[in-house]
Structure 1
């Protein structure tokens, strides 16, 4: 389960940025091509925050679709999973969006 390693990295970054302040919530934007299961990440978040300034914080995961451009027909299209195939049938595609994971916001006090 790669979600645990990714979530631990997010929690580490959030706690460092919080600089000792209590973290109440974290909002992430995750690209659909990251192959992250939001429910698994939420479960891992609950474990990773134990004993930190983010203990008890909530996690909101916003999964954003990916985008690609076909090198064969030049069409830009949306991707909702890691199957990189253009509607024209070509697999010669360039991924433009969807592989990012961003900490969008965090609520601290």
Structure 2
């Protein structure tokens, strides 16, 4: 379950930023996650709740913003939506796709005190 290490990494970023930006409590964390990031969002929510206990983010809400997957088809040169790796181009059926969006997982925004 790599979601636990991801949640621990998020807490580390929050603690580092709390020192740098002088805040003491995190109320809400917004994460952008693409479908190709290979992250199980419900597992991440569970792990986030576990690792935030006794931290500056205890009780914080985790909001997940799902961003769409996109790829450039090397055959027809169109940007097409993708849900999974190795999807075919919805325009021409080619499998020569270069992922351009959807592998991301990043902290988009924080609500802090």
TM-score, normalised to structure 1, is 0.91
Per mean C-alpha deviation after superposition, the further-off stretch among 39-48 and 74-83 is 74-83
Map 1:1-80 onto structure 2 (within 5 A).
1-19=1-19, 21-80=24-83
Which residue is 1:101 aligned to? 105
How far, CA to CA, are the matches of 1:73 and 1:106 in structure 2? Answer: 40
Size of the aligned set, in residue pairs, is 109
Structure 1 unaligned spans of 5+: none
TM-score when normalising by structure 2: 0.88
**Residue segments in structure 2 that go unaligned for 5+ positions in a row:** none
Do the aligned residues in 2 keep the contact of 1:32 with 1:82 (CA within 8 Å)?
Answer: no
Contact 2:86–2:95 (CA<8 Å) still a contact in 1? no
Shift of 1:55: 1.0
> Would you say the 8 A contact 1:35–1:82 is kept in 2?
no
Runs (4+) of structure 1 moved beyond 4 Å? none
CA RMSD of aligned residues (A): 1.4
